[in-house]
Amino acid sequence: MKYRDEYRTPDAARGYADTIARITTRPWTLMEVCGGQTHAIVRFGIDQLLPETISLIHGPGCPVCVTPIAYIDKALEIAGLPGVILCTFGDMLRVPGTHSDLSAARARGADIRVVYSPLEALTVARENPGDEVVFFAVGFETTAPANAMAVYQAERAGLENFSVLVSQVLVPPAIRALLDRPGNQVQGFLAAGHVCTITGYEAYEPIAREHGVPIVVTGFEPLDILEGVYRCVRQLEKGESCVENQYSRAVRRPGNAMAQHVMQAVFQMVPRQWRGMGDIPASGLGVSLAYRSFDAEARFGTVNGEAETQGECLSGAVLRGEIRPDQCPAFGTRCTPERPLGVTMVSEEGACAAYYRYRRPAGG
Amino acid sequence: MAHGGGGRAMAQLLDDIFRPAFDNAWLAQQHDGAVVDMPGAMAFTTDSYVVRPLFFPGSDIGTMAVHGTVNDLAMCGARPQYLSAGFILEEGLPLATLCRVVDSMAAAAVEAGVQIVTGDLKVVERGKADGVYINTAGVGKVVAPKPVEPARVQAGDRILLSGDLGRHGVAVMTAREKLELESAIESDCASVVQPVLALLEEGIDVRCLRDLTRGGLASALVEVSESAGLAAEIREVDIPVREDVSAFCELLGLDPLHVANEGRFITIVAEQDVARATDILRQYPVSQGAVEIGHFVQGPAGLVTASSMIGASRVIDRLSGEQLPRIC
């Protein structure tokens, strides 16, 4: 398959791994900030090819995982109201709220529908004029333009029964927050290619400069990730810290202007709580005043952010890159995809789920 | 509702639709059950079919209801002979739709060489079902000289996959969600009875067979590996997945190894039988893409590992819950 198979060839992978080993003179710790990359690293065993001196740690890159529990609770509350159809992406169904999840609510009779794009939720609204249709708009910058476009089109079409419950988050503030944490170990970042397709990478340049960390915009195929690691290590070994674009076949420095335009029209930057990371200023998107009538929080009441109770689950430390999933005492024993303790095991993109699926200890 | 009441309307439905389609001597007796002759060991299985939509690219619920059950019998090393068919119909189902389903079942039964000899019909209120639910049970005569079961799998045995993966699951998903794809992906739904019987008739010592329905190849391998008390190693690069299926899975974050199939199976044989078994399988359209994908080894029961495309290894696990499309 063009644009895929050529990024999966074993010889080239081995070539990158050998080059990385050759130029590495001391240990380096790198973080990827995208669940898709985490998944690829573990699925293809990319970390197995790297020298032991390179540690890849998995950051808060799963949009499902970082969605605060208060939003899940709000979605459940809204879905439980009579005459409401809640539309959501499939992977939100099993994310635990305080007492339940959307999958269980659906089984109890709530009208919760899985959609593949926010524009499908608009169609549901058109086809059910007697119902309130709420789209649960979750994700990083990758999903924001399409979610914004749904609101924009609803406004143009005069759809009064459509609104969005927005839990959009932004990557650069999260990277800053990670770097500012005491005891941070991350020395370089693989930035998420898909995110940068939309936003470009200008916003990463001051972070790289001010914090002295290399940031490499990286794709999702094995060779993309290996090249991203190589470029990061090369900078670290030379004492450099700038932004490089490995994923140039999809990403341009300014990003996608049209996508940014619709995002900026419909959304505005807001402070956001992240699961496992706490409050991060200006790290989320909320509905702008001009489109407030499409904000589900305006119709159904605002989300009450509450402190998370972590219990036995260490998913917060996993999301912050402080531990690997298999370093959690509950991993693979008391915490499995069938009986998950935390969201990083629930979500397909979560680091714990990826480790459980592809890296479970023998017989575990 | 009258059609399910056991009265005249139901009798008329049976006479008009079911008996002509499934026409055979046992049905013609119009008895409460079928009296059949089954000397020797027999295999017996049942399955229920609740697919939505009823018709999807390449197949439909009626074809699945026959092929699914005859394939289960074949996986026991048996030649399928008789099926029962139980229908639960939703009130308001167009008779034309029912006729299409029944015709599909009849055609699938002919293809698989089985007779539908008894059945049942119920009608439930509108809104209580998705049009048609079908249960089929089947019996078949065991023709394998040795048991076909995971307990006979030994370290060193080879795993043959009968063809490409994932088409059924993707076809149903695209039809259900009305996803418009450039290329129409058709279900692989088919009877695998012929190649399985051929393997047995040619004297291949088939250790174990498993069809790759819900849970896909991954779940089947883990199950066999657990029951056999062995580990398994497969080579991801050797597993055929059509390009459009692969692209669809990439798009939605699905793993083709977990996607459902309705006409695919694995055959486990000793190393010395690999070449001959592969040749036999390739003589049949449904298994012409047969390929060896790995083998069993001494190791923890249930541990299935795959060498990845870039030469590293990963664990293959059962699917947890249902496959859900991810956000990005």
Res B133: pLDDT: 96
Q: What are A190-219's pLDDT values in tens digits?
A: 999 999 999 999 999 999 999 999 999 999
Q: Which among B253, B320, B328 has the least Cβ separation from residue A194?
A: B328
User: In angstroms, what separates the C-alpha of B275 from chain A's closest C-alpha?
Assistant: 27
Whether residue A307 has pLDDT greater than 80: no
Peptide bond into B53 cis (omega under 30): yes
Contact call for residues B41 and B145 (beta carbons, < 8 A): no
Asked which of B144-158, B173-187, B189-203, B240-254 is least confident by mean pLDDT, the reply is B173-187
Q: Which among B177, B246, B299 has the least Cβ separation from residue A116?
A: B177
Nearest CA in chain B to A50: B312
Res A362: pLDDT: 45
Contact call for residues A251 and A200 (beta carbons, < 8 A): yes
A285 pLDDT tier (thresholds 50, 70, 90): very high
Res A62: pLDDT: 85
CB-based burial of residue B44 (10 Å sphere; 0-12 exposed, 13-18 middle, 19+ buried)? middle
Q: Which among A1, A44, A194 has the least Cβ separation from residue B312?
A: A44
For A38-42, what is the mean pLDDT?
Answer: 89
Contact call for residues A229 and A20 (beta carbons, < 8 A): yes
Residue of A195, A242, A167, A202 lying closest to A32 (CA atoms): A195
Residue of A235, A176, A172, A163 lying closest to A211 (CA atoms): A176
Spatial CB neighbours of A271, under 8 Å, sequence gap ≥ 6: A279, A280, A281, A282, A283, A284
Whether chain A has a CB inside 8 Å of the CB on B298: the answer is no
Dihedral sign computed on CA atoms, order B17, B18, B20, B21: positive
What is chain B's mean pLDDT, rounded? 91
Q: What are B33-78's pLDDT values in tens digits?
A: 889 888 899 999 999 999 989 999 999 999 999 999 999 999 999 9
Res B310: pLDDT: 84
For B261-272, what is the mean pLDDT?
Answer: 97
What is chain A's mean pLDDT, rounded? 91
Chain B residues with beta carbon closer than 8 angstroms to that of A167: none
Chain B residues with beta carbon closer than 8 angstroms to that of A357: 315, 317
Chain A residues with beta carbon closer than 8 angstroms to that of B317: 356-358, 360
Res A60: pLDDT: 87
Mutation site, B249, B251, B327, interface A, largest A CB count within 10 A:
B327
Whether residue B116 has pLDDT greater than 50: yes
Q: What are B174-191's pLDDT values in tens digits?
A: 888 777 665 689 999 999
Whether residue A172 has pLDDT greater than 50: yes
Chain B residues with beta carbon closer than 8 angstroms to that of A143: 327-328
A10 pLDDT tier (thresholds 50, 70, 90): confident
B154 or A4, greater pLDDT: B154
Nearest CA in chain A to B315: A358
B9 or A321, greater pLDDT: A321
Residue entry with tokens 């229920």? B48
Res A61: pLDDT: 85
Return the SS3 of A94. coil
Q: What are B6-40's pLDDT values in tens digits?
A: 677 777 888 888 888 898 888 888 888 889 888 89
- Whether B321 sits inside 8 A of A337 (CB atoms) is yes
Chain A residues with beta carbon closer than 8 angstroms to that of B303: 362-363
Res B96: pLDDT: 93
Angle (CA) A347-A137-A218 rounded to 5° is 60
B2 pLDDT tier (thresholds 50, 70, 90): low
- Whether B303 sits inside 8 A of A363 (CB atoms) is yes
Return the SS3 of B300. coil
A359 pLDDT tier (thresholds 50, 70, 90): confident
Mutation site, B180, B255, B308, interface A, largest A CB count within 10 A:
B308
Whether chain A has a CB inside 8 Å of the CB on B2: the answer is no
Contact call for residues B108 and B191 (beta carbons, < 8 A): yes
Counting one residue from chain A and one from chain B, the pairs whose CB atoms sit within 8 A come to: 103
For A269-298, what is the mean pLDDT?
Answer: 94
A276 or A294, greater pLDDT: A294
In angstroms, the CA B308 to CA A9 distance is 10
Q: Which among B310, B313, B325 has the least Cβ separation from residue A10?
A: B310
Chain B residues with beta carbon closer than 8 angstroms to that of A96: none
Whether residue B286 has pLDDT greater than 50: yes
- Whether B310 sits inside 8 A of A46 (CB atoms) is yes
Nearest CA in chain B to A347: B326
Whether residue A171 has pLDDT greater than 70: yes
For B285-295, what is the mean pLDDT?
Answer: 98
Res B14: pLDDT: 80
Whether residue B298 has pLDDT greater than 60: yes
Residue of B188, B225, B190 lying closest to B210 (CA atoms): B225
Q: How many CB atoms lie within 10 A of CB B279?
A: 11
Q: How many CB atoms lie within 10 A of CB A125?
A: 24
A364 pLDDT tier (thresholds 50, 70, 90): very low
Whether chain A has a CB inside 8 Å of the CB on B238: the answer is no
- Whether A116 sits inside 8 A of B325 (CB atoms) is yes
In angstroms, the CA B92 to CA B78 distance is 39
Taking every pair of C-alpha atoms in chain A, what is the biggest distance, in angstroms? 66
In angstroms, the CA A150 to CA A115 distance is 13
Mutation site, B310, B320, B324, interface A, largest A CB count within 10 A:
B310
Chain B residues with beta carbon closer than 8 angstroms to that of A114: 324-325
Residue of A203, A147, A146 lying closest to A170 (CA atoms): A203
Residue of A217, A211, A218 lying closest to A186 (CA atoms): A211
Whether chain A has a CB inside 8 Å of the CB on B311: the answer is yes
Instruction: Provide the whole-model pTM.
Output: 0.82
Nearest CA in chain B to A140: B328
Q: What are B88-103's pLDDT values in tens digits?
A: 999 999 999 999 999 9
Asked which of A360-364, B232-236, B270-274 is least confident by mean pLDDT, the reply is A360-364
Angle (CA) A325-A8-B253 rounded to 5° is 55
Following DSSP, what letter does each residue of A173-198 receive, concatenated? HHHHHHHHSTT----EEEEEHHHHHH
Res B247: pLDDT: 85
Res A228: pLDDT: 97
- Whether B309 sits inside 8 A of A44 (CB atoms) is yes
Res B12: pLDDT: 82
